[in-house]
Amino acid sequence: MDCELFRDDMMDVLYGEETPVAAHRFRAHEAECAGCREEAAAFRAMRRELQVWDAPAPPRVLARPPARRRFAVPLAAAAALLVGLLGALAAGGSDVTFAGGRFSLRLGRDAELRMLLAEQEMRHRREVAALRADLARTRLPAATVAGPAATVDETALLATVRALIRESERRQSVALGASLRDLEDRSEARRQYDLARVSAGLSYLDGKAGLEAARTSELMGQVLRASQQK
Amino acid sequence: MRSDEELVEAFQSGDESAFETLVRRWDRKIHGVVYRVVGSDEEARDLSQEAFFKAYRGLAGFKKEARFSSWLYQIALNVCRDRLRRLRHRSHVSLDEMDDSADPRLQTRGPTALDLVENRERARVVAAAMAELPPEQREVIILKEYQGLTFPEIAEVTGVPISTVKTRMYRGLGQLRLRLERQGVRGNAAAAVPAP
């Protein structure tokens, strides 16, 4: 059964883009192939998990297109630049004053910064107040954790917290198990490799020793024959 | 409401406000795809602007052989690819990037704070798994799952045959499944997204 032939159909069915022919073809294969049936079900379940990943909203759109180029008289451009500079300085909280026949300039963005900080402070205060209100609604009595004084909401909250802890522990356990299995596999592979190298080394030494022994025997044989001939 | 093609024609006839309308219409979607491809909100803001700037510069010569949306997605993806090549590919989204201090949902009634923290953790796991995919698989999954493009539209955006899109989709989903299961995350089969 070549499941590769049905991959495209699986994708079409998964995303609702199948033709009736493709749907019938895949359903028939799915009915016979446990692997594809299980995989398609896993993909369907996983798609919901993928949706928890939200994208943050973009900043407010400033869609004014870049100004087209224009030819400008240099003097007018310089004047526009000067006006723009002064305006920017003023907008940035700077002061340009003329006193005693002289211009003086004080640069600063204090006011803007103070405003931004104040807005941030207000936002943080609102968030903290909301969290405090949330905690106050779910606060447990000091005497017991899950005794008779606990309300239905508090009991449900405890059950939720315990379920979350169990789920977290399960995930950690699965991840740890996978890591340990991976480590075990790698250790075993390393051990086999080292054993193979040692074995190859010993074989080489055996072979070498054997060759030398054979060479020695041959030489001894030649020496004996020579001595016998004398 | 004018269609994208009508707005393009208006822009090419000299109506610059038509471009502004296009930007407002597509800003959120382009920001979303860029954010998910590069994994950073801050970079997504820069790159989205860059994509729209390139679209503005090229719109006068847009020949309408493809859909405007496909052309815009192509520009956005190319901008992302260029940036990732320069950054040598970011391998994960840090928790700092997923700062929820300004999340308005924390300030309103509805899901409890515990639910939101739980969802945040799951989102982080998904984002990290997506970041580890090969770029071509990640792009296809993002365009399909989060932008809702059809397979033919994705083929038009990415410039590859439809069968290649489906192959990348299948392999990408397989890789995601392995990574998520290794993190102990299994989809809720009871609430699985049914095929429409």
Q: Read out DSSP for A94-160? A: -EEEEETTEEEEE---HHHHHHHHHHHHHHHHHHHHHHHHHHHHTPPPSS-SSSTT--HHHHHHHHH
| Residue with more model confidence, A13 or A122 | A13
A149 Cβ contact partners less than 8 Å away, ≥ 6 residues apart = A141, A143
Distance, CA of A99 to CA of A75 (rounded, Å): 27
Q: Which residues, other chains included, contact B114 with Cβ-Cβ below 8 Å and sequence gap of 6+?
A: A160, A161, A164
Cα separation, A36 vs A2, in Å, equals: 11
The distance of A64 to chain B (nearest Cα, Å) reads: 6
Provide, as residue numbers in chain A, all residues whose Cβ is less than 8 Å from the Cβ of B31.
Answer: 55, 57-58
Q: Does B133 touch chain A (CB under 8 A)?
A: no
B28 and chain A in contact, CB less than 8 A = yes
- pTM above threshold 0.80: no
Q: Compute the average pLDDT of residues A106-135.
A: 73
B125 token code pair: 């796991």
**Residue A106 — pLDDT band, cuts 50, 70, 90?**
low
**Nearest to B30, CA basis, from B9, B13, B45:** B45
The strand pair at A102-106 and A95-99 is best described as: antiparallel
CB-based contact, A132 to chain B, within 8 Å: no
pLDDT band at A25 (very low <50, low <70, confident <90, very high): very high
The pLDDT, as a whole number, for residue A184 is 84
Nearest to A48 among B106, B118, B193 (CB): B193
Q: Which of residues 35-64 of B touch A (CB under 8 A)?
A: 35-36, 41, 44-45, 48, 52-53, 56
The pLDDT score that the predictor gives to residue A158 is 87
Angular region, B14: left φ>0, alpha ψ -120 to 50, beta rest = left
A165 backbone dihedrals φ, ψ, rounded to 5°: -65, -45
Cβ distance of A7 and B166 shorter than 8 Å: yes
Residues 6+ apart with CB under 8 A from A170: B184
Output the pLDDT for position A199. 76
Give pLDDT, residue A98: 55
Chain A positions touching B107 (Cβ under 8 A) are 126-127, 130
Is A60 in contact with B191 (CB distance < 8 Å)?
Answer: no
Q: Is A124 left (phi over 0), alpha (psi -120 to 50) or beta?
A: alpha
> How far is B26 from chain A, CA to nearest CA, in Å?
10
CA distance A4 to A12: 14
| pLDDT per position as a tens digit, A140-179 | 454 444 455 555 678 888 888 888 888 888 888 888 888 8
- Measured between CA atoms, the residue of chain A closest to residue B98 is A56
Contact A130 B189 (CB under 8 A): no
Q: Give residues 62 to 91 of B whose Cβ lies within 8 Å of A.
A: none
pLDDT on residue A143? 46
Q: Using CB atoms, pick whichever of B108, B167, B187 lies closest to residue A49.
A: B187
B163 interface with A at CB cutoff 8 Å: yes
What pLDDT tens digit does each residue of chain B (196 aa) get?
899 999 999 999 999 899 999 999 999 999 999 999 998 888 999 999 999 999 999 999 998 888 999 999 999 999 999 998 887 655 444 444 554 444 444 444 556 777 777 888 889 999 999 999 999 999 999 999 999 999 999 999 999 999 999 999 999 999 999 999 888 776 654 444 444 4
Q: How confident is the model at residue A90 (pLDDT cuts 50, 70, 90)?
A: low
User: Average model confidence (pLDDT) for chain A?
Assistant: 75
Q: CB of B149 within 8 A of CB of B139?
A: no
Closest approach of A76 to chain B, Cα-based (Å)? 25
Q: What is the ipTM of this complex?
A: 0.80
CA A143 to chain centroid, in Å, comes to: 43
Q: Model confidence over A28-58: pLDDT tens digits?
A: 999 999 999 999 999 999 999 999 898 888 8
> Which long-range contacts (C-beta less than 8 Å, at least 24 apart) are formed by B5-12?
B5/B64, B5/B68, B7/B68, B8/B59, B8/B62, B8/B64, B8/B68, B11/B59, B11/B60, B12/B59, B12/B60, B12/B62
The predicted-structure confidence for A169-225, as pLDDT tens digits, reads as follows: 888 888 888 888 888 888 887 887 777 777 777 777 777 677 777 777 777 787 777
Torsion angle of C-alpha atoms A189, A195, A201, A206, degrees rounded to 10: -150
Q: What angle do CA B15, B31, A68 make, to 5 degrees?
A: 30
> Which residues in chain A touch residue B54, judged by CB atoms under 8 angstroms apart?
none
Q: Which residues contact A6 (CB under 8 A, 6 or more apart)?
A: A25, A26, A29, A33, A36
CA–CA gap between residue A76 and residue A61 (Å, rounded):
31
